[in-house]
Amino acid sequence: MNEDRRIVDTDEVTAEDTVVFTARSGFETTEGLLTRLGDGTVVAYTNYCPHWRDVRLDKGPGATVRDEELVCGKHGASFEKATGHCDFGPCEGAVLDTFEVTVAEGGVYLTDEEWESADPGLSEERDLSSGSRIDF
Ligand code: FES
């Protein structure tokens, strides 16, 4: 596995929490979050709310996870962890974008071809000014 793509050790990703990461490709960056499903599978979604795309689901210490769902702290939208589907809230019906990740050699790797590397933590370059908002 390419070590530039290693995000965190596998055991750092739990079902009760999320781990934020920054993906890079050239000069482009974006943020994602990792979480674990009940069956142990590790999944990754983009770290913004489809309602207001400048709002992070995980602001650094972990997103709110309740009953197998990720909950946006701004207006309470909830997303099924297994699918990213929003089943409650102002963006009901929206779906979080996914990243392809692979668990191997004790780590979680970003194997999504769209991105070249990944690091744990928030992006310092993230531009929050250009996000679109879905009105109520
Ligand atoms: S910004 Fe997430 S529900 Fe409104």
Average pLDDT along the chain = 94
**Residues 82-100: pLDDT tens digits?**
999 999 999 999 999 999 9
Report the nearest-CA residue for atom 1 of ligand 1. Answer: 52
pLDDT beneath 70, residues of the chain: 126-136
Q: pTM of the entire structure? A: 0.92
Domains along the chain with CATH numbers? 3-113 (2.102.10.10)
Q: What is the pLDDT of residue 129?
A: 53
Pocket test for ligand 1, best of 33, 48, 52, 69 (most atoms within 8 A of CB): 52
Ligand 1 atom at minimal distance to the Cα of residue 77: 3
DSSP 15-70: TT--EEEEEEETTEEEEEEEEE-TTS-EEEEESS-SSBTTS-S--SS--EEETTEE
